[in-house]
Amino acid sequence: MTLAYVPGDSLAHRLDPRSKLLVQAAFAAAAYAYTTPRGLAALTVVAVGSLLSAEGGPRDLWGYRFAVPFLLVAPLVAGATLGEPWFRLDRARDTTLASYRVLLVLVVAAAYVRSTPVRDSRAAIQWAIPGKPGQFLGVGVALVFRFLPLLKRDLLATREAIHARAGGERPLRDRMRLVAVGGINRAFGRADRLGTALNARCFAWNPTLPRLSFGRGDYAVTAVGVGLFAVATMASI
């Protein structure tokens, strides 16, 4: 499944994007402050609850599958040494906790992406950062959310085309080069078409965005975010 907004009526769907962004930032701060087995165990409950509140599940994490090999290999690389004792368990343990911390942050991010329309995210960013900087950042975030799934789909289509032409018999280095070149060409093509489309539609830096308003659930979620920030601050003192 591709990381993208999925319409729904879940608890997370009904929340204001500003409260959800606050919880994401606070969760990341707490995860970096408490990278311990006990701390990560408590944050796991929060991360799973966030995903379930958006009616998500393991399939929503499929878009992060390319990061999993790096998270798995990192402890082995960190623990390996060039001499005695050849492998340091303490280093591998610390890196394992750090990798799991990153995974939890990705789970919370997946819940946000699944439950938040792109226009709402842009409105929240432009509310937090007024003026031209906020407009520029909001446009950038909107374009990334809309076109990253398309670019990923282009890479998969290029790989399938290579395999359909017996490209699987080529060396791995040649296959990687063909996929990379094909993906870059498609990315540049999409960028050109995007620029033409924006000009044709009289692109505006400050369009009419959705109105943002806090509900009862947002106050509770904001309290959770403030609590996570407080916990992270206490750990750094």
Per residue in 102-148, pLDDT tens?
A: 999 999 988 998 998 888 888 888 888 877 777 767 666 666 666 66
Asked whether residue 163 is assigned to any structural domain, the reply reads yes
| Residues 131, 112 share a domain | no
- The SS3 call for residue 80 is strand
- The SS3 call for residue 58 is helix
Could you give the CA distance from residue 107 to residue 168 in angstroms, rounded to a whole number? 33
Number of structural domains in the chain:
2
Give me the count of residues in the chain: 237
Alpha helix (H) residue ranges in the chain? 17-33, 37-53, 68-79, 89-115, 118-128, 131-164, 172-200, 216-236
Asked whether residue 58 is assigned to any structural domain, the reply reads yes
Are the beta carbons of 102 and 41 closer than 8 angstroms?
Answer: no
Question: How many other CB atoms are found less than 10 A from the CB of residue 212?
Answer: 15
Asked whether residue 48 is assigned to any structural domain, the reply reads yes
Return the pLDDT at 200: 66
| Residues 128, 112 share a domain | no
The closest of 128, 123, 117 to 206, measured between CA atoms, is 123
Per residue in 187-210, pLDDT tens?
A: 777 777 766 766 665 565 566 678
| Residues 112, 130 share a domain | no
Per residue in 48-100, pLDDT tens?
A: 999 999 998 888 787 777 788 888 888 888 888 887 888 888 888 999 999 99
Per residue in 206-229, pLDDT tens?
A: 666 788 888 888 999 999 999 999
Domain end, chosen from 74, 100, 117, is at: 117
Are the beta carbons of 119 and 210 closer than 8 angstroms?
Answer: yes
Which tokens hold the place of 81? Answer: 């040494």
The closest of 225, 226, 206 to 129, measured between CA atoms, is 206
Asked whether residue 210 is assigned to any structural domain, the reply reads no
| Residues 148, 77 share a domain | no
Asked whether residue 179 is assigned to any structural domain, the reply reads yes
In whole angstroms, what separates CA 83 from the centre of its chain? 38
Could you give the CA distance from residue 53 to residue 47 in angstroms, rounded to a whole number? 10
The closest of 120, 122, 124, 118 to 138, measured between CA atoms, is 122
| Residues 50, 69 share a domain | yes
| Residues 141, 76 share a domain | no
The residue segments making up the domain with residue 155 are: 124-200
Could you give the CA distance from residue 67 to residue 102 in angstroms, rounded to a whole number? 10
Domain end, chosen from 70, 94, 117, is at: 117
Res. 16 pLDDT band, cuts 50 70 90: very high
| Residues 100, 172 share a domain | no
The closest of 17, 1, 192, 212 to 112, measured between CA atoms, is 17
Q: Record the pTM.
A: 0.72
| Residues 144, 98 share a domain | no
Could you give the CA distance from residue 149 to residue 61 in angstroms, rounded to a whole number? 14
Beta pairing partners, 80 = 87
| Residues 155, 181 share a domain | yes
